[in-house]
């Protein structure tokens, strides 16, 4: 079958199956071959790799992944796309399609079954409304990962790469940078999709660290502190921590932890590096244990 990335072929398939785009699934199909090739190259997919594609749509990128990877598993939530994928991927013998919600799938079991538990590469053109939950779900569930290469909204990519003090810096920046090194692969204008989204996009690769770049005693506590610090980012850190429902910590304990972590008394969360949040988490853990 001819490549779907040709807009005429995409239209023909959509019309043949009388397919209707469903807004709730955030369906925007890529129709630019140059961008597709950049994604595959940016993801560094080779014949030794197993690739997990989330949301294959009609199989446009899946066809390219089939040629580049040793094996591809495509997880599609919309059952209306299954007969289309059966046709468009008929010649792709190394591709398995699973009709499921990626958020409910046991990915550790899938990786064990399909790749013997070895690290996989994730490649996806995700619906923007669910980008962050999927990425963080992949990291936090400790699925064996080499990298995640995804199409995201331009503003989300900026947040993933942002550093302390910038307007884009926040909980997402710190969470992503704790687990992976972000790298911008390509900028993608909205006219590369059918239908056109209302925003421009960026392809970003998140290369998973073998071990996090900072050491922390309680990872869960650190992320609770991070979220509390950015819930009301203009507040000082001591007030953010003491006023957060995420933490059972008094203002006095928050101030003591900030002092132990060698941070300025009036510092705001947006000024702290990942390493400083790790130090703060260790200090908080000690103080909370002392109070038991």
Q: Are residues 22 and 48 in the same domain?
A: yes
Question: Are 115 and 202 in the same domain?
Answer: yes
Say whether both 193 and 241 belong to one domain: no
What is the C-alpha separation between 187 and 154, in angstroms, rounded? 8
C-alpha to C-alpha distances, 121 to 6, 20, 131, 225, 271, nearest whole angstrom: 26, 30, 16, 30, 33
Question: pLDDT band at 198, cuts 50/70/90?
Answer: confident
Asked whether residue 213 is assigned to any structural domain, the reply reads no
Residue 237 lies in a domain: yes
Print the domain residue range for 23.
7-208
State pLDDT tens for residues 173-196: 999 999 999 999 999 998 888 888
Q: Which residues have C-beta within 8 Å of that of residue 291, sequence separation ≥ 6?
A: 253
With respect to residue 81, please indicate whether it lies within any of the assigned structural domains.
yes
> The domain that contains 125 carries what CATH number?
3.40.50.150
How many structural domains comprise the chain?
Answer: 2
Specify whether 175 is located in the same domain as 242: no
pLDDT at 199: 83
Across-strand partners of 51? 72, 121
d(CA 174, CA 281): 14
Residues 84, 172 share a domain: yes
Mean of pLDDT values over 110-128: 92
Residues 103, 135: Cα–Cα separation, whole Å: 10
3-state SS, residue 149 = strand
d(CA 200, CA 198): 7
Pair 106, 133 in one domain: yes
Q: Per the domain annotation, does 75 fall within a domain?
A: yes
Task: Please report whether residue 1 resides in a domain.
Answer: no
Is the CB of residue 26 less than 8 Å from the CB of residue 130?
yes
Q: Is the pLDDT of residue 68 over 60?
A: yes
Q: Is residue 93 part of a domain?
A: yes
291 φ/ψ angles, rounded to the nearest 5 degrees = -80, -10
Ramachandran angles phi, psi of 135, nearest 5°: -60, -50
Are residues 76 and 107 in contact, defined by beta-carbon separation less than 8 angstroms? no
Give the CATH number for residue 229: 1.10.8.100
155 and 26 in a common domain: yes
pLDDT surpassing 90 at residue 204: yes
- Residue 60 predicted with pLDDT over 80: yes
Query: Rounded to an integer, what distance in angstroms lies between the CA atom of residue 70 and that of residue 242?
Result: 51
């Amino acid at each position: 079958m001819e490549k779907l990335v040709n807009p005429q072929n995409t239209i023909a398939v959509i019309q043949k199956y009388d397919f209707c785009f469903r807004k709730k699934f955030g369906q925007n199909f890529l129709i630019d071959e140059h961008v597709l090739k950049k994604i595959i190259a940016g993801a560094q997919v080779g014949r030794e790799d197993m690739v997990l594609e989330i949301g294959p749509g009609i199989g446009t990128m899946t066809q390219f992944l089939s040629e580049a990877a040793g094996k591809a598993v495509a997880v599609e939530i919309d059952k209306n796309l299954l007969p289309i994928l059966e046709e468009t991927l008929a010649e792709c013998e190394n591709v398995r399609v699973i009709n499921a919600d990626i958020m409910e799938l046991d990915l550790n079991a899938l990786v064990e079954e399909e790749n013997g538990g070895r690290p996989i590469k994730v490649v996806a053109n995700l619906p923007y409304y669910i980008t962050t939950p999927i990425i963080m779900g992949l990291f936090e569930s400790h699925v064996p990962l080499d990298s995640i290469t995804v199409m995201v909204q331009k503003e989300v990519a900026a947040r993933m790469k942002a550093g302390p003090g910038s307007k884009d810096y926040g909980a997402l920046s710190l969470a992503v940078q704790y687990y992976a090194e972000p790298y911008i692969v390509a900028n993608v204008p909205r006219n590369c999709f059918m239908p056109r989204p209302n925003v421009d996009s960026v392809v970003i690769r998140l290369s998973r660290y073998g071990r996090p770049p900072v050491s922390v005693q309680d990872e869960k506590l650190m992320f609770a502190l991070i979220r509390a610090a950015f819930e009301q980012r203009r507040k000082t850190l001591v007030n953010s921590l003491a006023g957060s429902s995420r933490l059972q910590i008094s203002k006095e304990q928050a101030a003591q932890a900030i002092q132990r972590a060698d941070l300025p008394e009036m510092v705001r969360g947006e000024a702290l590096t990942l390493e400083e949040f790790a130090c703060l988490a260790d200090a908080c853990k000690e103080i909370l244990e002392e109070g038991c």
